[in-house]
Amino acid sequence: MGIHGSFGILVLFITVINAQQLFPQKKLFDQTYIIDPEAEMTVPEIIRRWGYPVETYNVVTTDGYVLVLHRIPFGKGGYNPGSKPVVFLQHGLLCTSSVWIMNLPHQSLGFLLADAGYDVWLGNMRGNTYSRRHANPRIRAQEYWKFSWSEMARYDLPAMIDGVLNITGESQLYYIGHSQGTLTMFSMLSENEKMNKKIRAYFAIAPIGTIANVKGLFRYLGENMYNELEMITLLFGDQEYLPNTFISRWLTELICGLASTNPLCQNFLFLVSGPDSHQFNKTRIPVYLAHNPAGTSIKNILHFCQMVRNQMHLDYDYGEKGNQQRYNSSIPPAFNITKIKVPMYLYYSDSDWLATPADVQGYLLKRLNKKYIKEVKHLHDYNHNDFLWGLRAPDDIYKPIIKSIRLDWVKWKAHLLHTTTVPTTTVTFMPSFNQLNDTNEDKDLLGSIIKPLSKTTKTISPSIFAATTTISTKDKNLLKPISEEK
């Protein structure tokens, strides 16, 4: 896969040039970049830099893609041998697991969850900086890059989620997704009933099902560039789009530097995300840019462009003939999100160009089964990236999520206690409950659940709470924690 086709760069070139017509000129940096050391580090290095433990695992999808999982097993409170919520975080389009740890520890969702006492897992979709190996080392680039988010939904998410459940020994996990990390989740849950049972709750941040009302670069790509992109694929086969190489970084800087100092021009991500942020820590932007964009396939970008054009939530469109062969129908099948049976929490905003209120309200909220919608939060003044890096996000989104998980987890395990008869003596609750600075409201709720328990005679075996750390596949070496991934 060493070939980051020069055509990917050509496309970048074309898109950046064209996109400049869209945006007003504005200056972001006053000459000086203050580069934080995290710009030069890998995800495990960043996690370690802030004093957190980190583990790296590989999982192999059933179609052979080797994906890398990063884990923060515990936080500043120290190792907790008891059972704890397992939380899985899935990044969005063109990003990596880095998106969850890009700010300071008290501002980043990955670290906040670890400090709350949870077992935190960060996924990496096929084709990004970390997950670009294949079980077949001789696979040709054109074969490798033949995927869109449909494959991520069908293969990547089940493989990663099953891997995490296997390693932790839990039966269910909490899922938090951003952007494409929600599109893939909605799609997977629509057609995979078994996976529904493995998700305890689903937190959808900047959620995407349709992008009929998308603004910015994607509208432009969908309306004006689709044919060019398709042509490149037809002529040269499937290729990578926007790899995170020095060339693409240099090119972005060069083009934007010459033409303008438009902040939106600094990076593809900002062309996608929405209007200028009012809550960014601007000195950290070089860190974000150093890690993203991180590569995906042109086919994936094409799939997003198709969504702009057909305004629906459909599988990949191969054209009438191709669809007939593949789907036995002239149009691709639609994902039916009404089938999803997982408790869901949605967070969206009016300043988001990709997950627009029109699409969230007009598609997701309309079609999702109301019975499973636990919370919908319509936030103001968040662009697509503010959900990850905005300075208001910890209070508006992350802390409420942490609290929802904690309350649900206690209810869940308490229910287990009531319904399981195991002959042992001790009950272990997450020690971190004591460390948390609960509000009175929290305390009452926890108290009402825990107190009745102490009156019951039922207790639970610690072994139910013990985590195991084995995972098996055909190739054991692939699944061992690996030391470091560049």
Ligand X SMILES: *[C@@H]1O[C@H](CO)[C@@H](O)[C@H](O)[C@H]1NC(C)=O
6 is catalytic: no
Q: Can you tell me the distance from the alpha carbon of 126 to that of 4, in angstroms, rounded to the nearest whole number?
A: 15
Amino acid identity of residue 376, one-letter, is V
Q: Which parts of 173-295 fold into alpha helices (H)?
A: 180-191, 193-196, 217-220, 226-236, 246-259, 268-273, 285-291
Smallest separation (angstroms) from ligand X to the CB of 146: 23
Helix (H) or strand (E) holding 241: strand 240-241
Residue among 136 and 336 whose Cβ is closer to ligand X: 336
**Residue 179 a catalytic site member:** yes
Which candidate in 108, 179, 190, 248 is catalytic? 179
Alpha-carbon gap, residue 242 to 244, rounded angstroms = 6
CB of 103 to ligand X, least distance (A): 7
CB of 116 to ligand X, least distance (A): 13
Helix, strand, coil proportions of the chain in percent (round to 5)? 45, 10, 40
Residue number, 139 or 467, with CB nearest to ligand X: 467
CB of 416 vs ligand X, minimal distance in Å: 16
Q: Provide the terminal-to-terminal Cα distance of the chain, rounded to the nearest Å.
A: 15
Q: Is 24 exposed, middle or buried (0-12, 13-18, 19+ CB in 10 A)?
A: exposed
Question: Among the options 303, 384, 396, 432, which is catalytic?
Answer: 384
The burial class, CB within 10 Å (0-12 / 13-18 / 19+), for 312 is: middle
Give whichever of 150 and 168 is closer to ligand X, judged by the CB atom.
168
Catalytic residue among 156, 352, 359, 396: 352
CB neighbours of residue 256 within 10 Å = 19
Catalytic residue check, 63: no
CB of 281 to ligand X, least distance (A): 4
Residues that bind ligand X (CB under 6 A): 36, 104, 166, 169, 281, 283-284, 328, 336, 338-339, 391, 437, 468, 471-472
C-beta of 373 vs 453, nearer to ligand X: 373
Of 152 and 393, CB closest to ligand X: 393
Residue 480 backbone phi and psi in degrees, to 5: -70, 150
Catalytic residues: 179, 352, 384
